[in-house]
Structure 1
Amino acid sequence: MTIALHPHPSAALPLPPSPNGRGINALDHRADFPAIPAGWAYLDTAATAQKPQVVIDAITRAYDTSYATVHRGVYQRSADMTLAYEAARRTVARFIGAASENEIVFVRGATEGINLVAQCWAGEQLQAGDRILLSQLEHHSNIVPWQMVAERVGAHIDVLPLTADYQIDLDAMAAMITPAHKIVALAHVSNVLGSVLDARRAADIAHSVGAKILLDGCQAAPRITLDMAALDCDFYVLSGHKLYGPTGIGVLWARAELLDAMPPMQGGGAMIDKVSFAGTTYAPAPGRFEAGTPHIVGALGLAAGIDYVESIGLARIHAHETALVKLTRDALSQINSVTLYGPEDSAGIVSFSIKGVHPHDIGTILDEAHVAVRAGHHCAQPLMEYLGVDATARASFGVYNSAADVDALVKGIARVTRIFG
């Protein structure tokens, strides 16, 4: 589809007042990110965060001067890399408040972590007639694995509604949950709406009937202080690339006793105790879930990303992004054709639509103005159906964003409205 870029004169709309950034808890870290050139407003952090130079340097160092395999070699460099890899596991454990690094399983991302739990815990524990509880706003990665296991074992899936302010309805959860529900899986922060779950209350409700609870922490980990004991969940997953680390690395945290009782998802090297043709015994967790050569450098890059985030402070990051969200929502609410989704205090995310304009067209025109946003269903088609739209546009913030990026976004959206009238 070709978009006409010359609006009819009668379609012109006044430009909303330019955001001035007052009240922004300013962070000045844009220079840390070499992939963000001057004049480019990168507003797609919820999809993937840009990488700070310290992460790039950690990855380069690992491949350039330090690289060797882990857990196998008896030579010094292999031993040193093993120490670094396991130190990365301890960094993750400390970052999320785990009781032990042995509760940390390195996976390819949150998607693999959820699939691991669905196959190796739910697939073993659930029986025909058991129930799984999800919510209306879940990412496909927190829907499809549960559908697969439900179909396999004959379980049923129930779906929690949202409140009027786009939160998972925990009052409805308390009313709906029964002893037949064995697992609850919810987003800690919605990737579309930025809604922040009262995770502890959700865990308490799940545990009141003996159910386990998994939290999808992809959007929470880069901005909210985590403490597994305080959350009292049973499983937690996150992705490295949303936490300013590399792609291809993520984390599954689970209570030690749950990991110990779960069979491995894959077989191969490193996850074994002893192999013979008569039978195989498996290594204790987390090793039994990390078959083959792991993403060594990815783990080191993730640890560098965590160190970077902690050097700034999660509280400062969250305050900064919350201020940018408010600035954006205040400005966009002045454009009559714009509909905003999500709560007023969403965590770093603003989803919106423009009447009569497909989000893909919004994204294309904004790209011409060097503003990068996401456009589509955001891997949350059931939520789009719930909202009554096919897709939305989504602006999402990181430590490198400023009021100037909001200004560029608002000006770009005003241009979209002029073009489409």
Structure 2
Amino acid sequence: MSTNDFFSDLPGEFSRKDSPPVDPNLIAEWSKKFFGPLSSGSNVDELVLSSSKIPNEIPASSQNVISQEESASGGNSWTPRSGAGYTRVPDLGLSGAGVPTFPGGLNVPGAGQGLPGQNSPFSFLDDFRSFDSKVQNLQVSDPFSFSPSLVPSVDISSGNFDLSYARKDFPILEEKVNGRNLVWLDNAATTHKPQAVIDRLSYFYKHENSNIHRGAHTLAARATDAYEAAREKIKNFLNSSSTEEIVFVRGATEAINLVAQTWGRQNIGKDDEILISWLEHHANIVPWQMLCSEKGAKLKVIPVDETGQIILSEYQRLLTPKTRLVAFTQVSNALGTVTPAQTMIELAHKQGATVLLDGAQAVSHMPVDVQVLDCDFYVFSGHKVFAPTGIGVLFGKKGILDQMTPWQGGGNMIQDVTFERTVYQPAPFRFEAGTGNIADAVGLGAAIDYLNKFGMVRIAEYEHSLLEYGTKELKKIPGLKMIGTAPDKAGVLSFVLEGFKTEDVGRYLAQEGIAVRSGHHCAQPILRRFGLESTVRPSLAFYNTCEDIDALIRALYDLIGGRTSGPL
């Protein structure tokens, strides 16, 4: 089968025809070196499963063995050779369009990188990478890279940040609702998926679908590389220092619970204090309440002012030597408030506290740099950043993750199992028990690729202009009160309308084809801080336009019977 035949299912913008040739010998050399020999696997954690005498080390007969044994659940259980991690891709002078890349991230530059000297438990797949006749001689750049024609050039210096042309990449935005064009202003609940992400998922299931890490065959190699390439993309997106700091989870909620059930149980004790803020989503409240109840710790709440902004002086007062953890949101899902995260993290660290930052509402609106923020944990959900549902990320500093015990046991997270003990994989694998959401992790990587074509700085600038426009126009509507008026906001326009229940406003807008969220937004404490049980919450993404906001404004004027005094 020819290369062109192999990629016949891909749309035209993924064509490889115009890319420059690459020396096949160079490709072979890179593939051979992409995964290195295994490390010795020292300093492993052990789980005592019985009172039997535990040997000092794994018997030699159980090391460096690859087995596929049927588990009780019917799946395959892989016993990896000792050692884990990825070897950094050697510098072979490859760059630009001539870099050989394979479907799903196979040998994508930087994919699966770890720290120097760390090696792969998956190197047994190398033969299948090297001898896959379909990908061995590819001569072009990443099949999931975007044609420059898809992203029109914008002169940033001119102040032209309009990204509204991006909406053509989102097929669902062509939907009709009640005979009207869909106006999607419910992005804080979930974002839509660009065609590139949809295509990437389809490609995975057509050409790469397999379980990962443990299968010694071609599709396992492809799926493993696609999955680990996505981890590398997330590492770069957050500016983490290593892929070993990136753990795949189902979403931000699971990430927070993982930290509570592992780090929290290990480090929180009686009379210790956990600080959260009034702004938090329930997912960043309930796990800490549960932990405090279990451990006898105290949960304290950082107050906010009338605009919905953190009161820093009160935060500093609440920080004490008893503060073990500070967990707060970077952007409020109910109000859109952007918190002074870097300052708060610095203050917490001065008291010796660990910090978890909830970035679920931030990653789609602004650049995130976990090294600059210096947070100890960072969490977000893929579906809030144009990726599929059911996939999310926990970033944790490597030194902290290495000290945390797993919270779930099973396949994939182990190096060796006997009836006496279990030897865990190092992070991040020790926190990814069982078969993960492989395809949607790959989809998350594709979403990050898509965002990178625009740049988060440009996205932030454009959305800020939309937010300012929407705020100005909403304030003109008689009887409408904005909830959350902090000077630094992102993407959220919560309001109440005098004389109307929020659910009635939402229902009326839905009849007009306009999707907003009406309710408490899983953030009841902050709404009650303002004497409310619910708000109407339009929320923005970079595929929205001023026309979307105009449609919202017209519908609200219609609802209150005052269209003639509003925009036409």
TM-score of the aligned structures, taking structure 2 as reference length? 0.69
State whether structure 2 residue 528 is matched by structure 1 residue 385.
yes
State whether structure 2 residue 275 is matched by structure 1 residue 133.
yes
**Distance in 2 of aligned mates of 1:26 and 1:54:** 17
User: How much has 1:356 moved relative to structure 2?
Assistant: 2.0
- Superposed CA offset, 1:55-110 (max 9, x none): 00001111122211100111112112111111110100010010000000000000
Retained in 1: the 8 A contact 2:163–2:459? no
- Superposed CA offset, 1:267-301 (max 9, x none): 00011121111121211110100000111101100
Provide the secondary structure at the position in 1 that maps to 2:171: coil
Partner of 1:410: 553
Partner of 1:203: 345
Q: Give the alignment of 1:248-259 within 5 angstroms.
A: 248-259=390-401
**Distance in 2 of aligned mates of 1:58 and 1:168:** 40
User: How much has 1:171 moved relative to structure 2?
Assistant: 2.0
Q: Give the alignment of 1:164-203 within 5 angstroms.
A: 164-203=306-345
Please say which of residues 129-138 and 32-41 is displaced more in the overlay. Answer: 32-41
| Matched letter for residue 328 of structure 1 | G
Identity of aligned residues (%): 44
User: How much has 1:336 moved relative to structure 2?
Assistant: 2.5
Retained in 2: the 8 A contact 1:55–1:245? yes
Partner of 1:363: 506
State whether structure 2 residue 167 is matched by structure 1 residue 30.
yes
Partner of 2:417: 275
Retained in 1: the 8 A contact 2:161–2:458? no
Provide the secondary structure at the position in 1 that maps to 2:173: coil
Please say which of residues 124-133 and 29-38 is displaced more in the overlay. Answer: 29-38
User: How much has 1:24 moved relative to structure 2?
Assistant: 7.0
Partner of 1:14: none
Retained in 2: the 8 A contact 1:235–1:252? yes
Please say which of residues 146-155 and 221-230 is displaced more in the overlay. Answer: 221-230
**Distance in 1 of aligned mates of 2:362 and 2:227:** 24
Please say which of residues 334-343 and 240-249 is displaced more in the overlay. Answer: 334-343
Partner of 1:70: 212
Retained in 1: the 8 A contact 2:163–2:543? no
**Distance in 2 of aligned mates of 1:385 and 1:165:** 14
Q: Choose the corresponding residue for 1:105, options 247, 251, 260.
A: 247
Retained in 2: the 8 A contact 1:271–1:283? yes
Q: Give the alignment of 1:272-351 within 5 angstroms.
A: 272-342=414-484, 343-351=486-494
Indicate the structure (1 or 2) with the bigger Cα radius of gyration.
Answer: 2
Retained in 2: the 8 A contact 1:23–1:323? no
- Superposed CA offset, 1:14-58 (max 9, x none): xxxxxxxx9873431111011112621100011100000000000
Give the root-mean-square deviation of aligned CA atoms. 1.4
TM-score of the aligned structures, taking structure 1 as reference length? 0.92
Partner of 1:15: none
User: How much has 1:163 moved relative to structure 2?
Assistant: 2.5
Retained in 2: the 8 A contact 1:322–1:345? no
**Distance in 2 of aligned mates of 1:226 and 1:327:** 25
| Matched letter for residue 366 of structure 1 | L
**Distance in 2 of aligned mates of 1:160 and 1:248:** 30
Provide the secondary structure at the position in 2 that maps to 1:36: helix
Higher relative contact order (CA 8 A, sep 6+): 1
**Distance in 2 of aligned mates of 1:67 and 1:206:** 44
User: How much has 1:164 moved relative to structure 2?
Assistant: 3.2
Q: Give the alignment of 1:33-52 within 5 angstroms.
A: 33-37=170-174, 39-52=181-194
In structure 1, stretches of 5+ residues that fail to align are 1-21
Please say which of residues 25-34 and 127-136 is displaced more in the overlay. Answer: 25-34
Please say which of residues 337-346 and 237-246 is displaced more in the overlay. Answer: 337-346
